[in-house]
Structure 1
């Protein structure tokens, strides 16, 4: 491991105490809001069940058939509630993104998927059994009776679509799809939920007019679909038209890696922080149907911005070859991988491979005093040292320590570092003596990142001081 330590010729005053207090208070407030928001989302299913029971559902447990039917209704209400909460989490609503962050929102979204599916499957099965018991027929024949009811064919179709969406979201299955193909299939979740609404309002009188239940469910549908419509469609169109971004240049910085310079209007008004990402769409015949989540590799000026792309598949290879003048659509900025998530005055940044791109932008506007920031750049070989010269220059200008680690990975618990450094006894604590009083920002391949994150936790660094940006979907 080689080191470059730079400081300014004139040392400014130390990091002000009020700034340290502001960071801690800001984190504490955001953490409380995040906890309350997530609690509300997880417990909204209980609220849906309580509204049903309070609106007369508690009296519908008089016979075995009623018990089974009522349990089926409860399963359907809670399952549908979870699906709508999943849509809210995926809608990229700014208050959700600023409070819990895009990555955490999507993680909760995925965790809700299986319970929602199981509850909806249980809903269908229990209703077929319960109604069949009431009518004296078996559940298979009851399917025909239910399909004869208004809006039920749409409900069955919606159930089938939802099963397909959840199955394709499983990690083992998702990896068999390209990002674009998986994303297209995932859009069916909106259709499946929309198909379920009519039968909720018309069948069984569960959501009868004038009831608090009906108000709750319509409000939840409005928030979910209103959020999707506003922040996944309307706002990106408005932002794209306002800023009029186009490709100003494409330059190769390494084999298979290019920087795309972008020109536009009033780009500072995007409010982007270093470390955040946008969803980009390049309007050429080969790329218009691709949307790509890519971090900024330089903070926007009033008229320019930059991203850096590595060819990791057909989609990224195509955008690496877009011609100058190509129009660009944008969604964002997103994510809490920025200075806004800081809790400490000291900063430790570790990046590997193409993971240096958000790190490079992060260093541009992160607040720290000279000597309070340390950067470790990791690469398997010199061909992977993307933007290292720019990062070293930023470190020099801002008084940060900069270390470089090149070589094949070590084995075991320290597999995130180069084998040569691990063999000579380098540890996370020796590389970063002030680690426990610092915020640690990590960006790189998932397996590498998991290794260093586990090492940091073993060293006693609290989870809220670790900020990770994983390059997966």
Structure 2
């Protein structure tokens, strides 16, 4: 998602600057080691690709650590997108490291390539661990490709993805025992230990300790489940000291409902009402086994929530706002409509009237806040929400901050329309209503 631009450097610029600074340090430590003069060209390339691959791997860990500062500044969509593409670069650099090191050592020893590979894997300390780590990274990368993701349950993909942590540990053990850039310099050793320690510490803090502390503090549980339509339910959640929970309209949590057979599943659902300090609400469409069973939840069921996440939030500087929601992606838009004041226009896109979940609530909120509400209902059509259609609904669209949430296809089409209308990029905020990919 696109976050609201803060003054000065953006979060993305700070993060990229930090990555560039570390790349300079890695290069400096590599050159100071003297390997450029000592090793042949292939071995130098092998060491360099290994080091930059390790640096990007640490960067990946930071991206998925869900550090509040990064998450608020970039949003889960942006972090996930960066994490995905960085992962493929990590894989190519690791493979290049294996190829160049093997070729370089074979050239130095004058041995056949296959024999040199066997010697490295089975006779060199901890290289077998690195081999296993490489195989695990390949498996994670293959299952992360879009074609593979479409054929896998989210829970299966997530379980396979956890092996990436084992790959990180095995790769690090290989580096600290055999890597010349680890064992050859106390400064380099301290740097790499600090780098890995900081990344893993961020994951431990943000993804384990902070959620455990918040859930222990707030003790969330299901209050009631309300059937909104034949295939949509709203789950009302209560707890203690909810006024201290830093949740905002437009954000989402990763929810675990602690039933005997589903406690291990975590699903991202947006808040469908503005947090009021007394309770939270999510509204979910039964799209499969992962969500249809929610209608059977019993009051009192304990809930474990990670979050809040997302930068799909309003800003006091937003005086003129356009909200566009599609399908069940209307839920964060509905929450924003409840929070926003000023000149607000809301557009609800649905294929048929039966799909207009929470329509009565939207009408009530629009009347209460003075917002204008447009219901755009009809089958998928290039004309609906096209540039001409959107301008007819909202003539001053270029002057507005635009929030878009819906199925990926609809969201991308609307964002394309906004670009056609020359709406400034920093006024466009989008969130995909789909699992991170």
TM-score in terms of structure 2 length: 0.94
Structure 2 unaligned runs (5+)? none
**How many angstroms does 1:394 deviate by?**
1.4
Is 1:192 the counterpart of 2:167? The answer is yes
Tell me, in whole angstroms, the C-alpha distance in 1 between the residues paired with 2:25 and 2:180. 19
3-state DSSP class of the match of 1:386?
coil
Give the aligned partner of residue 250 of structure 1: 225
Give the aligned partner of residue 454 of structure 1: 416
Is 1:397 the counterpart of 2:368? The answer is yes
2:37 to 59, 71, 79: 59
Stretch deviating more after TM superposition (233-242 or 346-355)? 233-242
RMSD after superposition: 1.9
Q: How does 1:325-340 map to 2 (within 5 A)?
A: 325-340=300-315
Equivalent pairs counted in the alignment come to 431
Is 1:268 the counterpart of 2:243? The answer is yes
Q: What whole-Å deviation, never above 9, does each CA across 1:332-382 have from its counterpart, x for those lacking one?
A: 001100114x7642100011110110111112223x32xx11011111111
Tell me, in whole angstroms, the C-alpha distance in 1 between the residues paired with 2:7 and 2:288. 40
Q: 8 Å contact 1:347–1:440 — kept in the other structure?
A: yes
Is 1:278 the counterpart of 2:253? The answer is yes
TM-score in terms of structure 1 length: 0.87
Give the aligned partner of residue 284 of structure 2: 309
1:118 to 59, 68, 92: 92
Q: What whole-Å deviation, never above 9, does each CA across 1:287-343 have from its counterpart, x for those lacking one?
A: 111100110011233331110111112111223322221111011001100114x76
Tell me, in whole angstroms, the C-alpha distance in 1 between the residues paired with 2:372 and 2:9. 30
Q: What whole-Å deviation, never above 9, does each CA across 1:7-54 have from its counterpart, x for those lacking one?
A: xxxxxxxxxxxxxxxxxxx83426533222134336644542332123
Give the aligned partner of residue 337 of structure 2: 363
Q: What whole-Å deviation, never above 9, does each CA across 1:376-403 have from its counterpart, x for those lacking one?
A: 1111111111111112211211111111
Tell me, in whole angstroms, the C-alpha distance in 2 between the residues paired with 1:165 and 1:34. 26
**How many angstroms does 1:437 deviate by?**
1.2
1:133 to 99, 107, 114: 107
Give the aligned partner of residue 352 of structure 2: 381
Is 1:202 the counterpart of 2:173? The answer is no
1:104 to 74, 78, 96: 78
The change in CA–CA distance for 1:301 and 1:405 in structure 2 (over 3 A counts) is same
1:287 to 255, 258, 262: 262
1:35 to 4, 10, 13: 13
Is 1:72 the counterpart of 2:50? The answer is no
Q: 8 Å contact 1:286–1:318 — kept in the other structure?
A: no
**How many angstroms does 1:432 deviate by?**
1.1
3-state DSSP class of the match of 2:335?
helix
Give the aligned partner of residue 436 of structure 1: 398
Tell me, in whole angstroms, the C-alpha distance in 2 between the residues paired with 1:217 and 1:384. 53
Structure 1 unaligned runs (5+)? 1-25
The change in CA–CA distance for 1:113 and 1:90 in structure 2 (over 3 A counts) is same
Give the aligned partner of residue 11 of structure 1: none
3-state DSSP class of the match of 1:279?
strand
**How many angstroms does 1:238 deviate by?**
1.3
**How many angstroms does 1:212 deviate by?**
2.8
Q: 8 Å contact 1:416–1:449 — kept in the other structure?
A: no
